[in-house]
Each structure stands twice: as structure tokens, then as C-alpha cells.
Amino acid sequence: MIVLVNPNLVVQRNDPFTTGIVYMPIGLAYTAAVLREKGLPLKVIDAFAENPYQTERKASFLILGLKSEEVIARLPQNTVAVWIYGINLTSHIATLNLVSTIKLAYPKIPVIVLENTQAVTAYSLSDVADAFFAAGADACLTGESELRAVELAQLCLSGEWGRVSEIHLDGLCLPNKKNVATGYVGDLDLLPYPAWDLFPIENYWNLCFSHGPLSARRYLPLLTSRGCPYTCRFCVAPQTNHQRWRPRSAQNIVLEMERAAKTYGVYEFHIEDLNPTVSEARIRELCHLIIQRQLKVAWKIAAGTKIETIKNLDTLDLMAAAGCRYISISPESGSSRVLRLMGKFFDFEHAVRAVRRMNKLGISSQACFVLGFPGEENGDREQTLKMVREMTREGVDEIALFIITPVPGSAIFSEFSGYGSLSELNFTPSWRKDYQKLNRFRVRLYLLFLIWKLRWHPKKLFQQPFRFLRKCFHTKMEMVPYRAMVFKRLDNRAARR
Ligand code: SF4
């Protein structure tokens, strides 16, 4: 049997606001579905969600979920391989810990780490494979796992793992041989839907917080497309997707929504694509289909999209009519000089028009910015401040301010040093020499945002405490204090033990 493991959630104790974001492991759920479709024996262990409130302090981190010995106790006797999902960078210490403890308990069972190619919070495993090998991993599988899962599983199940270095498996990194991942899942519609029935999804729902703002009792993430055509230098996606964007058809997405409603009673969907609106025609078709089939669903573009790809603002009207309730966009910086350094463009005028329209339509909007990109100066940050002010006046519902961190696989990865664990590569990189200065600016800008919002959109601000109390979140800014409160309580409880 192949055992698929989702690692524990890791929270940086000094920052429960931007760390500890809960992502349902959609890539692993796809891999499980592919193996099951081929009739291959598998079991899923979700080391976080099987006991999400169990907490352990580890230096500056909180580790949530099963203890390593509990994971080991859940491995069936007929386990032939353990595949651990490299879900995101901040969970790295938990992933590494699982690798080493499983290997110690079962030295003969191959332990393989799978890359997550569809999240900007993930990391390129080929850049960090040696750290996993040092911990005892036998291999890292890079690229889309679904493409290689069956061949890899058959190799493990046949008892022929010892021959692995003699064969070529695209994307498989071994200590002495690295095969580059070259292929992609060509037709995403041919993939089975994620096997959520193998995961403790009730436990995710019971948390009452998620990555996207959660306003229903139940939700599921969706990947409606894969890849991204852009080349932002701070992002891992250009390395893991080689600028290829591939869509699922509107029909296929709607069928998944209908199935989720029927099977799990889910009517809220969080779109976790890297860039779901690259094809405006496809989004329009999706909206038409949802409306035609009278699906009473809410969907949120939780992981962001490039707003310039929605060229026709009437598309936003259609999206609202089809249940779109939230769109995250990424101006990143108010300075065109810094945007050039980032390899990113942003059409401010277009974004402002889009935010105004979203405001009218009742679609909540988020604008994300990154601070501290190499080469950024004080004057650049002042331009970011001005842009935030303008966007707040136009009605943007929330902002997110991240301090740039070097993600393995991004173009800027080698430009930074000074961190200890890779898990410290989060949006509060306190190891950076300029962290205090950047963080002071961040806190100031958040405060200014609230003041500006109070001045120009007081009604919106006053609604937030009520939504917070009802745990019916329209924005991440309403939800994140709740999540931070939960983490604080867990941290205190862990300290008392
Ligand atoms: S637009 Fe830029 S930041 Fe967003 S996924 Fe694409 S490359 Fe990454």
C-alpha cells in the first residue's frame, strides 16, 4: 500500500497573523484520486487535520496536528512506500521531521517527497532536495505528481524500488541523479476530481478559518486552471510551471461544483489557482453555465489573479451574478521602478476601475503588496503608501502587506542569506537585517489603512466586528484575528504542558 501524508501545520509563534494559513491539500487529493482510479492501494494520513488542535512548541514554531509517533502508528503493516506532500514552505520543518522519523522507524520503506506546483507559498523541491536526502528521504518527485504517480506507485508496489536508479522517471530526484520534470498534465479535464472523501474534511470545516475568507459552514478549494504565464522574480511559479497556463473547461468545473454540492453539501468554493482569469472567455463561459444551471454557489478568488486579464469590466458583473464574492489582486508595489525590478507590471488605472466596479457589485476585494524587494528604497515604499491610500479611497476592502522572503525556486532565492530553517522563509522574515524597519512601515501602513477606511468607508469598517463575532468572514482581515486568537490559545496551552 502507498501511504500519502499531508504534513502538520506550522505557525511562527511571533506571527500568528501571516503564518499558519490553512490550505486544504488539493494537490495530494488529486494524486490520491489518480492512484485510486487505477485501482492502486493507498491510504491518506493528514498529519494536520486528523488532530488539528493538538499543539507542540518547537523553538520559535508551533506544530499543529499528529505527533510523529502517531503518524508512524497509523502506517498499515503492508506499507510499501510513504509519500509526503511538500505542501508549502512554512511547513518545511514538519515535512522534514516526518521524513526523518518515518525513515528511522522503517529504514527499508522508501520515503518520497512530492512537490506542490500550484501555490505561490510552495517551493521548488529540486532546490532543496539535498536537505530532504540528509533527513533520510529516498527521492523527491518534482513537477505535477498526477503525471508520474501511477508509474512511481507501480515501481514501489512491485518491490523493485532497489532498481530505481536504473530507470528514468521524469521529475524524480535521487541523491545521485536528478531527472528534470519536463511534462505537464495536458488535458486537465481528464483528471479525476480530488478524493476529498479520503481526507478529514469535517475537521477543516470545524476550524472556521481557511485560506480564503470563509462565510459558510463548509467549503472546498478548487483548481480551475494550472500554471501562470508571468515571470515575477519573487515567485516560484515560473520555475515549477515554466510559464505554461492550462485551463479546465467550464463544463468540467461546474460538474465538480455540482458533485461537491450533492456529495458533501458544499456551496462555497475557494479558487486556489495561480491565475484563474488568464482566459476571460473561459471565466465568462463558467459564469454563464453557473447561471444557466441555477447553481446557488459562492466562489472566491482566494489566491489572487492578475486583474489586467479581466479586460472587460462587464465580466465582473457576470462574475457577481454567478456567485463570485471575493477577488484578491496583487499590485505588489506603488513604485514602477520596483515593479520593473520584480519583473512585474501593474495597470493601476485599470485596477482602480475594477475595484470601483467590485464595490458596486458586492464583490470584496483584496490588494496585496510586498515590502523589502532587493533594491527597494524608502521613496519606493512611500509610493506604495500613496497607492494604498488611493485604492482605499476607491473602496478596496482589505490589504495584505508581506515582507519579501526568498522562496527556493524563485529568481531571487540566492540573493538572501541569514535565515536558519527554511520554515523561517515566511512573510515575517525576522532574520532579515532590515526586518525591524520594514515591519515598522508595515504596521504604520496597516494603521493608516484603517484610518482611511474609517474616513471614506466607515460603514464597511463597522460591519467587520459583527462578521467577526458571527464567524461569517467576507475578508481575510476579518478572519485572521480569529485565527490568531486560536493559535494564541493553543500556544498558551502548549506552554502549560
Ligand atoms: S502573476 Fe507573478 S506572483 Fe502571481 S503566480 Fe504568476 S508569476 Fe507568481
The number of the ligand 1 atom at minimal distance from the alpha carbon of 238 is 7
- Residues in the chain, how many? 497
Strands 61-64 and 55-58, by their bridges, are antiparallel
The Cα diameter of the chain in Å comes to 68
- CA dihedral for 459, 463, 464, 465, sign (positive or negative): positive
227 lines ligand 1 (CB under 6 A): no
For residue 448, the surrounding DSSP H or E stretch is helix 435-456
CA of 19 from ligand 1 middle (Å) equals: 20
Nearest CA to ligand 1 atom 8: 235
CA of 199 from ligand 1 middle (Å) equals: 29
Nearest CA to ligand 1 atom 4: 274
- CA dihedral for 472, 477, 482, 487, sign (positive or negative): positive
- CB-side exposure of 97: number of CA atoms within 13 Å? 24
What residues pair up with 324 in beta bridges, in sequence order? 299
Q: Which residues of 366-398 are buried (b: 16+ CB within 10 A; e: fewer)?
A: bbbbbbbbeebeeebbeebbebbbbbbebbbbb
226 lines ligand 1 (CB under 6 A): no
Q: Alpha-carbon dihedral of residues 113, 118, 119, 120, nearest 10 degrees?
A: 110
Cα→Cα distances 483→146, 166, 228, 267, Å: 32, 48, 30, 22
Nearest CA to ligand 1 atom 2: 232
Cα→Cα distances 454→366, 372, 391, 464, Å: 17, 27, 14, 12
* pLDDT at 142 (0 to 100): 96
Query: E-assigned strands of 144-278?
Result: 172-174, 177-178, 220-222, 225-226, 246-247, 268-271
- CA dihedral for 488, 26, 121, 356, sign (positive or negative): negative
For residue 481, the surrounding DSSP H or E stretch is helix 476-496
238 lines ligand 1 (CB under 6 A): yes
Selection from 329, 429, 440 nearest residue 381 by Cα = 440
Residues 460, 453 contacting (CB under 8 angstroms): yes
* pLDDT at 335 (0 to 100): 97
232 lines ligand 1 (CB under 6 A): yes
For residue 441, the surrounding DSSP H or E stretch is helix 435-456
Helix axes 92-105, 125-135, angle to 10 degrees: 40
Residue type, 430: S
Direct distance between the N- and C-terminal alpha carbons of the chain, in angstroms, rounded to an integer: 36
228 lines ligand 1 (CB under 6 A): yes
- Rg of the chain over all Cα atoms, to the nearest angstrom: 22
Tell me if residue 236 falls in helix, strand or coil. Answer: coil
Domains of the chain: 2-178 (3.40.50.2300), 210-493 (3.80.30.20)
Helices (H), 265-375: 280-292, 314-321, 336-342, 348-361
306 lines ligand 1 (CB under 6 A): yes
State the Cα–Cα distance between residues 237 and 118, nearest whole angstrom.
Answer: 7
CA of 230 from ligand 1 middle (Å) equals: 6
Mutation probe of ligand 1 site: the residue of 225, 235, 244 with most atoms within 8 A of C-beta: 235
CA of 225 from ligand 1 middle (Å) equals: 14
In the sheet that holds 324-332, the strands lie side by side as: 220-222, 268-271, 298-301, 324-332, 364-371, 398-403
CA of 185 from ligand 1 middle (Å) equals: 20
Q: Which residues of 215-224 are buried (b: 16+ CB within 10 A; e: fewer)?
A: beebbbbbbb
Mutation probe of ligand 1 site: the residue of 121, 223, 228 with most atoms within 8 A of C-beta: 228
Nearest CA to ligand 1 atom 1: 230
CA of 116 from ligand 1 middle (Å) equals: 15
* pLDDT at 47 (0 to 100): 98
* pLDDT at 128 (0 to 100): 94
What does 76-143 look like in DSSP terms, one character per residue? -TT--EEEEEE--GGGHHHHHHHHHHHHHH-TTS-EEEEE--S-TTS--HHHHHHHHHHHT-SEEE-S
237 lines ligand 1 (CB under 6 A): yes
Mutation probe of ligand 1 site: the residue of 116, 120, 242 with most atoms within 8 A of C-beta: 120
State the Cα–Cα distance between residues 442 and 393, nearest whole angstrom.
Answer: 19
339 lines ligand 1 (CB under 6 A): no
Residues 320, 362 contacting (CB under 8 angstroms): yes
Record the cell numbers describing residue 169, joined without a space. 522517471
370 lines ligand 1 (CB under 6 A): no
303 lines ligand 1 (CB under 6 A): no
The number of the ligand 1 atom at minimal distance from the alpha carbon of 344 is 2
Cα–chain center distance at 263: 24
CA of 455 from ligand 1 middle (Å) equals: 33
Strands 172-174 and 139-141, by their bridges, are antiparallel
21 lines ligand 1 (CB under 6 A): no
Q: Which residues of 231-241 are buried (b: 16+ CB within 10 A; e: fewer)?
A: ebbbbbbbbbb
230 lines ligand 1 (CB under 6 A): yes
Selection from 84, 92, 149 nearest residue 121 by Cα = 92
Please name the residue that has the C-alpha cell 472566491.
300
Residues 388, 399 contacting (CB under 8 angstroms): yes
What residues pair up with 140 in beta bridges, in sequence order? 113, 173
Each residue's pLDDT tens digit in the chain (497 positions)? 999 999 999 998 888 888 899 999 999 999 999 999 999 999 999 999 999 999 999 988 999 999 999 999 999 999 999 999 999 999 999 999 999 999 999 999 999 999 999 999 999 999 999 999 999 999 999 999 999 999 999 999 999 999 998 888 899 999 998 888 888 898 999 999 999 999 999 999 999 999 999 999 999 999 999 999 999 999 999 999 999 999 999 999 999 999 999 999 999 999 999 999 999 999 999 999 999 999 999 999 999 999 999 999 999 999 999 999 999 999 999 999 999 999 999 999 999 999 999 999 999 999 999 999 999 999 999 999 999 999 999 999 999 999 999 999 999 999 999 998 887 888 889 899 999 999 999 999 999 999 999 999 999 999 998 999 999 999 999 999 999 999 999 999 988 87
Mutation probe of ligand 1 site: the residue of 226, 274, 369 with most atoms within 8 A of C-beta: 274
CA of 310 from ligand 1 middle (Å) equals: 15
Mutation probe of ligand 1 site: the residue of 232, 346, 405 with most atoms within 8 A of C-beta: 232
297 lines ligand 1 (CB under 6 A): no
Helix axes 26-37, 145-157, angle to 10 degrees: 50
Record the cell numbers describing residue 55, joined without a space. 499543539
State the Cα–Cα distance between residues 93 and 14, nearest whole angstrom.
Answer: 16
